[in-house]
Amino acid sequence: MLCVHSAFLRVLRVLRGKSFWTFWVLACASWSAIADLPTPLTEALKRANIPESAVALHVQDLSQTTPTLALNEQRAMNPASVMKLLTTYAALEVLGPAYQWKTEVYVNGALKGERLKGDLIFKGYGDPKITLEAFWLLLRDLRQKGLKEIKGNLILDRSYFDVPKEDPGAFDNEPYKPYNAAPDAMLINFRAHRVRFLPDAEGKPPRIVLDPEIAGARIVNQVRGANGGCGDWRDKLQYQIKRDSSPPAYAFSGSFSSACEERAMHLILQDNNAYFGSLFKQLWEQLGGSWKGAVVEGALPDTARRIGKYDSPALAEIIRDINKFSNNVMARHLFLTLGAQVRGAPATPLKSAAAINDWLGVRGQRFLELVLDNGSGLSRNERISAQHLGWLLRAAYQSNVFAELESSLPIVAVDGTMKKRLTLGNVSGHAHIKSGSLKEVRAIAGYVFDAQGRRMAVVCLINHPNAELGRPVQDALLEWVFSRP
């Protein structure tokens, strides 16, 4: 029997260059509101000073054909990270839960014994999760195969993704935060450094350690030791990055309490090539190897010979990181991978948006309001309606990949981005909910297994200047959905 993802992929590939609109069937009647809003919800909205016009709702018993509650559900709204639901569900159906990314290693030159007089080439296919540990395993495999001394360049073939250059600070003026890292078909360890703050004696400044290390880097530690509680320790620290200085300098200032014990923040401290070269050299030398050369970007030569390969964890595991912890970089990689697999490499955001629209078309759906930018929700432009998110939740519930999708969502008061929400609520442990937040945006969508044993699809999108006050509104909705008769 042909697996659903194989069938979808075959159909979508046939659709290349054709309009998916040919295949749509407009489903569901339209409405702006069904039933009065429950009192806990209206009271929470009043306290937050958020008008009903800024809220879109869709609540439906999955055993029924019509919503229990709906408000402004056809309105195009910014869903923030809730857009990851669309990307991950489409990927599960199109690529399949067992899909794996590959990363290949080639040599181009004379390989005699343990010595390579030539280039070592890494061909990336967009693996979103080559961690430091996974990269070490790949390099260890090369050492075990006999390679030790490399006299040539490291060539990085990133051509699987064709993504315009981005200003990493353009979105929110935070260019060094890992969530703003651009997609990279040969991404290693999210290109992130863990900056460790190790407390010394009480009241003394902490030691600062970079992991992985940056050879020759100058760390300027101007952090003052402090007493008292730890609290919001990140807000008490500042940093200044000078990667182009010689040597690169990383300055940290502010205060750090000894009560914090060890803490760490993750930052992007190097560009792609510098990070790859620095990490490769460090790990390769730890494995007993040596390398003299540069890191350059280029295409895989026809004369190269493959000597190594790494396969990622399965997609079903990858989407747990994407949804439970709202990993934007991984979501963007998955979005681009859909474009490459359906519309052909190299992947582009336009191909990826078309691939998802193709998939919706095969499903008989036409989302007129849908705007896809990068598939992660980290965008001011992306739009979707609560009604269509409700369709997605219902369709997923009826699909053979429901178990994988639902288990990837945070459990309220238990794990992921919902771990600290509703810890004392009745709904605690009874809902799988994806949340999203941007400036002026708060969103949730997912499943509630209510007190009556019903499985409910729930969507709440808030787009308003007071949206940051909207969390109690969404919590009140989840509690009402769980407890209603």
Is 213 a domain residue?
Answer: yes
| CATH number, position 291 | 3.50.80.20
Same-domain check for residues 305 and 355: no
Mean pLDDT by 10 residues, the chain (485 residues): 52 48 33 74 98 98 97 98 99 99 98 96 99 98 98 98 92 94 97 94 86 94 90 94 90 93 95 96 98 98 98 98 98 99 98 98 97 98 99 99 99 98 98 98 99 98 99 98 97
Does residue 72 fall inside a structural domain?
Answer: yes
Q: Which of the listed residues 290, 311, 332 is the one where a domain comes to its end?
A: 311
For residue 423, what pLDDT is reported? 97
Cα distance between residue 166 and residue 183, in whole Å: 10
Q: What is the pLDDT of residue 200?
A: 79
Counting the structural domains of the chain, the total is 3
Question: Domain check: are 403 and 288 in the same one?
Answer: no
**247 with 115, same domain?**
no
| Residue 273: partners with Cβ closer than 8 Å, 6 or more residues away | 156, 295, 296, 297
CA distance between the termini of the chain: 42
Q: Which two tokens stand for residue 237?
A: 């620290």
Residues 303 and 346 in one domain: no
400, 441: one domain: yes
pLDDT of amino acid 136? 98
Residues 460 and 320 in one domain: yes
- Assign residue 98 a region: left if phi > 0, alpha if psi is -120 to 50, beta otherwise? alpha
At residue 29, the pLDDT reads: 34
Residue 84 burial (C-beta neighbours within 10 Å; 0-12, 13-18, 19+) = buried
**Pair 339, 366 in one domain:** yes
CB within 8 Å of 320: residues ≥ 6 apart? 407, 408
> Is the domain of 159 the same as that of 261?
no
- Asked if 147 and 206 sit in the same domain, the reply is no
Domain limits for position 250: 193-267
Query: Is 176 a domain residue?
Result: no
Q: Is 460 inside any structural domain?
A: yes
Q: Is 468 in the same domain as 324?
A: yes
Domain assignment present for residue 253? The answer is yes
- 157 token code pair: 């073939």
Question: Residue 16: what pLDDT?
Answer: 52
* pLDDT computed for residue 228 by the predictor: 84
In a domain? residue 326: yes
Residue 175 lies in a domain: no
User: Are 162 and 261 part of one and the same domain?
Assistant: no
Q: Are 434 and 323 in contact (CB under 8 A)?
A: yes
Domain boundary among 286, 311, 336: 311
Q: Kindly report the CATH number assigned to the domain that includes residue 10.
A: 3.40.710.10
pLDDT of residue 35: 61
Q: What is the pTM of this model?
A: 0.93
**Same-domain pairing of 262 and 388:** no
Instruction: Judge contact between 103 and 131, C-beta under 8 A.
Output: no
Confidence at residue 110, expressed as pLDDT on a 0 to 100 scale: 95
Q: Give the span between the Cα atoms of 275 and 230, in whole angstroms.
A: 31
